[in-house]
Structure 1
Amino acid sequence: MTKFWNNISKFPRFLFSVIAGFFLTTFYTIFELLKEKNKRLITSIIIIIFTCIMGLILRQMLGIK
């Protein structure tokens, strides 16, 4: 039973490392695209459009006017 509680106590650290790894690998590719001048404008426009669409979808789902 001690082994079980030992594993449970390690879970928050594992969860944090998985979430941090996800965001680091996701944003690394975006930052690499932003380094190139010819792709900077297109990447910025895509990010802005994606953010706006997600905002609109969430407002519609939550009923916020």
Structure 2
Amino acid sequence: MCEEQNKIVVATVVNHIVPHKGDQSLFWDKSNWQAVCKLHHDSTIQRQEKQNIIVGCDESGFPLNPDHHWNK
């Protein structure tokens, strides 16, 4: 997330790429882990997961979501 925005930030949280939803095997699957900063994990990633959309923009200001009307 930060990298897509050309930011270098310490990653302090492990995000589950595929939400585990209580599945212990998915929770502990290291290939499903993604190191992210706390800010993105607690805001952007949670919102994307709940709304099933891609949130944010690139360094030019264009939305990262390919379905956004600016990308059509």
Normalised to the residue count of structure 2, the TM-score between the two structures is 0.22
Greater helix content: 1
Higher-RCO chain (CA-CA 8 Å, sequence separation at least 6): 2
Greater strand content: 2
Normalised to the residue count of structure 1, the TM-score between the two structures is 0.23
Higher Cα radius of gyration: 1
